[in-house]
Chain A
């Protein structure tokens, strides 16, 4: 483990079919939106090098690296249709952060969040399920026919140990960057919690950093 050169973050995107998971991922990674994506079958996958603020990165990859280091985030986009749910198992394992997406114009997709979260916790069985970093995205805010209010979404997030919540539009690139920054940060915190404890016992300060991030995630929230 000590020879690990590059930190690889694993992020899973979950949510009902057609809430915009694929679009969000591509907006973040490729900085563009098209309506030419096919429905996702099984799972899709993209990687991206991400920069997270110096402090955390230097702590994270302190060894030979001078200055900030690129991290590699692997983002797994899953299929939303219910019958594909049982396939998730293989992908969930080892995830550092789970992104729950719903469509603000579809109350059904919002209601499903509970199910997605539960399913993830069961299948991935993280060591500390109560504090596993989830980030919630309400997508398609560019549309007029909104059906899930910000307040309702926030309340739900609050009830789940205060999950960070963002309102995004993959189409108009609203808040996508910020959301994923928080996602990366929280994922990183999760990763270091597990691995750095053993490796660098003197750098436990990190914990402070991560809780800091969590609240800053809340600040970034566009609501």
Chain B
């Protein structure tokens, strides 16, 4: 690699390798040499200081000069030799007379080479020193190239209090540490997916980061510098790993980021680090403005927003992303939040030549007119530092927007539909709605809101100020709910972006059948049964449509109980389409992972809740732990936003606030509830009593607006406890400190614990289930599972696996899918039957046999059966398996084993190649039909091995020859024992004769003359058993633990 020439000192750390008149090829002492003291010291020196010079370099030096210039360096000898050759072949320096001219020419040449190379290298993403670190990282830890290094930090690893100075490497999949000090090497490799706890202790001089892994190992790292950055990054990476486990989705590099013309990014960082930082920033950006999930932040700049309603100007940050322009000023005493969808923007212009100072560097943004007689609204931002850059960016974005129709709401519904699809409260008025006092109260509220709208706008781009918070806390009037819920939650954006999708999904859902649909059906009448709308088919049908449409949209969630309760309440105030989008927004954006197949998100938040109780209400935490109620009370509060625990007219107020302020509202209300019940809880003697207390309290919560009407639960009148307004106000004022950022933070840590404990449970379950198969001991199963986990839960092996739908009922072991490559590795390591490198590749056939659903993957149980039948069962059975593996459905012709392992690196593709191979071979076979059937027969034999005395099909002569070959391969490979080879040939001959006898016999008994040569399994087994050495060899019990350990050593 050419480098810009720089002066260096030829010192003793370098050895000369090659010399020419003007050039000098050197390698660094201690690189790849023996353990002499000098090499040892240099090694230490390198790893302590991040000089990390490349071990090879080329210097330019003229004979009369003292000065040396480094012009090339490389990590490997071959690389440097290439450069050397190039110099020898391309630089004709004899033409120069003056040495300085030579140097000038060399410099010029090298510089141009550096320049062209830099533009050529694809890997421009990363800076040089980082690249070196990446190479070192991959080399040191022998980790696959697909794993990107994100960042590395100098730190020391505390081993029994003794610090070892070295480097911490953080990659997307692993945490690694390396130190090399006076001949002692420490290497640590931890998968993020195996981390169960992360912790940081701040000390006086140094911070200590503690990492605990699944196997209960604890690592402590001390850092002087950058500890917070490193810790944040570790949290982010571990969180990505946990989310990967939850969703079966893995990290993908964001290549958009590469294309982004961002001049302000420091080149020192790795591309991955930039990517991750960008993700984190986009994440908090989306959270701040409630934007759709895929929105990526482009940039932030300071600006002054001139409020067109009040004429006051506010200082804050202007955010720009693909589809939105947002403004936020949270630090001033008048917080303000504005979201402008770019698709609503009609014009962006500079304002020039204005005398008013506050219009310096100003931009005016005009929105499209929504209706003909309305004045277009506009926003003025001033004091934008890089205004031209900003303008260029925003016009690029506007240009690339798909032009969306601004008349998106019209013309999708036919008129008859409309009637049904309007909010249910119009059709099913409750008696409260006719109550004049309530009407007046509603009207008063509406007036207040109208006043607000006049001053701040009422579109999606309204100014959201402190006043708005007050209004929301007072409750949104019924007539405005759907509109404001959509705008506050951000569901509006998705709805606008996908016109007609809801109707489409309803149509699809109405013609399909699924488990989700059945589950939904069961719950339709158990959603909001007290409301008249859901005592009628109209309400029930609407609810069915919304829920099944959502299950169709997002099969990974499908349907989770609790969604029915939320959806039914939404339907009272919103049209079906609106309810649908709000539900989607809750499930995917506001309460992430809540409703997936393990309700992980809710479990996480339950733990977050416990942390919050411990921090904010320690006395209550003590009471709850005494009663054993930690992690028990709040699940339904979260899953249904309180709708299932109090009457919906009260809970709806919480929902109002929830849509406005996000998930933190649930926590604030929950804390408020607990705090208000402090005394009552303190008196409780056991968990039951406490649950009852809370339950009564919750059902007694009432809405001040309906003060006159009585409260009922399940048809019984009940006493009031507190008004929901008071509850909310209490929560809002007392638990202000509980903000979104804090919750996100706590979620990361608790997600780790939840995911790992679910995984633990899952593992135990699998081991317990498979232990019943009796092939392996629990210990062995655990180790096998661990190994598979380690391998499968690595990025590149999972990405192409389709995420499983939530509704497919699954045995726990089915969630691990083993591709052919991994299977072959394990089979070869464990089974004595795999100890052949001959022509008959048993692993392909065994894989085919066990892959019951032909999808190119074994599940974990199939894997253990395959391994068990070939390495732990008694020798008779193993011989039968050997026999079976040579029967026609599996061995369709001889070229079977020639499947070229080089076809592809990826195991899965290889496996599917193998599968394809089989299929084509089998179908080209004369008896393809019966062949496939036979395969099924063989499979059922394999799975029912222990149950019945199975009768294996007979074997024809050509198959038998293959079988003999395999036996030779098996033995021949490991021993050169002539005697055993003789024995095998003897039994082969015997069996061949036996086959002939069989043929004659059957010809005779059935009176025909067309019988073929055959033997049966019993004959084969009985004969094979006579060769003691063969029995010993094939019957050897595979040592799983040892084999896996060896595999790990190779891999790591």
Binding site for B on A (CB under 8 A): 8, 10, 17-18, 26, 30, 32, 34-43, 45-47, 72, 74, 79, 81-84, 86-87, 90-91, 122
13 contacting pairs across A/B (C-beta < 8 A) = A10-B688, A26-B714, A36-B714, A36-B715, A38-B529, A39-B522, A40-B561, A45-B695, A72-B688, A74-B686, A83-B598, A90-B631, A91-B632
A131 CA / B686 CA spacing, docked (Å) = 26
Partner of B527, one of A39, A47, A84: A39
Asked whether, in the complex, the Cβ of A45 is within 8 Å of the Cβ of B688, the reply is: yes
Q: Which residues of B contact A42 (CB under 8 A)?
A: 635-636, 639
Of the candidates A30, A32, A38, the one having the most CB atoms from chain B within 10 angstroms of its own CB is A38
Using known A-B contacts A34-B714, A36-B714, A122-B768, determine if residue A83 contacts B597 with beta carbons closer than 8 Å: yes
Mask for B508-525, Cβ within 8 A of A = 1, else 0? 000000000001001101
Tell me, rounded to whole Å, the shortest Cβ–Cβ distance linking B672 to chain A: 20
Nearest A residue to B689 via CB reads: A47
A212 CA / B664 CA spacing, docked (Å) = 54
The verdict on B526 contacting chain A, using a C-beta distance below 8 Å, is: yes
Q: Which residues of B contact A36 (CB under 8 A)?
A: 529-530, 714-715
For chain B, residues 545 to 583, give those with C-beta under 8 angstroms from any C-beta of chain A.
560-562, 564-565
Tell me, rounded to whole Å, the shortest Cβ–Cβ distance linking B254 to chain A: 31
Of the candidates A18, A79, A83, A84, the one having the most CB atoms from chain B within 10 angstroms of its own CB is A83
Asked whether, in the complex, the Cβ of A41 is within 8 Å of the Cβ of B565, the reply is: yes
Nearest A residue to B765 via CB reads: A122
Nearest B residue to A90 via CB reads: B632
Q: Which residues of B contact A38 (CB under 8 A)?
A: 526-529, 565, 644
The verdict on B53 contacting chain A, using a C-beta distance below 8 Å, is: no
Asked whether, in the complex, the Cβ of B599 is within 8 Å of the Cβ of A87, the reply is: yes
The verdict on B618 contacting chain A, using a C-beta distance below 8 Å, is: no
Asked whether, in the complex, the Cβ of B529 is within 8 Å of the Cβ of A41, the reply is: no
Tell me, rounded to whole Å, the shortest Cβ–Cβ distance linking A35 to chain B: 7
A40 CA / B519 CA spacing, docked (Å) = 13
Known: A34-B715, A83-B598. 13 other contacts (CB 8 A): A8-B688, A34-B714, A37-B714, A38-B526, A38-B529, A39-B565, A45-B691, A47-B688, A83-B560, A83-B806, A84-B599, A86-B758, A87-B599
A83 CA / B600 CA spacing, docked (Å) = 10
- Interface SS of A by simple majority: mixed
Q: Which residues of A contact B768 (CB under 8 A)?
A: 122
Nearest B residue to A18 via CB reads: B522
The verdict on B603 contacting chain A, using a C-beta distance below 8 Å, is: yes
Q: Which residues of B contact A10 (CB under 8 A)?
A: 688
Q: Which residues of A contact B716 (CB under 8 A)?
A: 30
The verdict on B761 contacting chain A, using a C-beta distance below 8 Å, is: yes
Asked whether, in the complex, the Cβ of A81 is within 8 Å of the Cβ of B561, the reply is: yes
A122 CA / B601 CA spacing, docked (Å) = 24
Partner of A41, one of B528, B635, B714: B635
Tell me, rounded to whole Å, the shortest Cβ–Cβ distance linking A147 to chain B: 15
Asked whether, in the complex, the Cβ of A17 is within 8 Å of the Cβ of B561, the reply is: yes
Tell me, rounded to whole Å, the shortest Cβ–Cβ distance linking A220 to chain B: 26
Nearest A residue to B562 via CB reads: A41
Q: Which residues of A contact B640 (CB under 8 A)?
A: 41
Nearest B residue to A41 via CB reads: B636
The verdict on B973 contacting chain A, using a C-beta distance below 8 Å, is: no
Tell me, rounded to whole Å, the shortest Cβ–Cβ distance linking A24 to chain B: 14
Asked whether, in the complex, the Cβ of B806 is within 8 Å of the Cβ of A47, the reply is: no
Using known A-B contacts A18-B523, A26-B714, A36-B714, determine if residue A84 contacts B561 with beta carbons closer than 8 Å: yes
Q: Which residues of A contact B34 (CB under 8 A)?
A: none
Using known A-B contacts A38-B565, A41-B639, A47-B692, determine if residue A17 contacts B522 with beta carbons closer than 8 Å: yes
For chain B, residues 896 to 917, give those with C-beta under 8 angstroms from any C-beta of chain A.
none
Partner of A82, one of B529, B644, B761, B809: B809
A91 CA / B639 CA spacing, docked (Å) = 18
Q: Which residues of A contact B806 (CB under 8 A)?
A: 83
Asked whether, in the complex, the Cβ of B525 is within 8 Å of the Cβ of A86, the reply is: no
Nearest B residue to A36 via CB reads: B529
Nearest A residue to B632 via CB reads: A90
Asked whether, in the complex, the Cβ of B526 is within 8 Å of the Cβ of A39, the reply is: yes
For chain B, residues 746 to 802, give those with C-beta under 8 angstroms from any C-beta of chain A.
758, 761, 764-765, 768
Asked whether, in the complex, the Cβ of B761 is within 8 Å of the Cβ of A86, the reply is: yes
A84 CA / B522 CA spacing, docked (Å) = 16
Using known A-B contacts A45-B692, A47-B689, determine if residue A87 contacts B635 with beta carbons closer than 8 Å: yes
A206 CA / B522 CA spacing, docked (Å) = 44
A126 CA / B631 CA spacing, docked (Å) = 21
Asked whether, in the complex, the Cβ of B598 is within 8 Å of the Cβ of A81, the reply is: no
Tell me, rounded to whole Å, the shortest Cβ–Cβ distance linking A58 to chain B: 23
Q: Which residues of A contact B523 (CB under 8 A)?
A: 17-18, 39
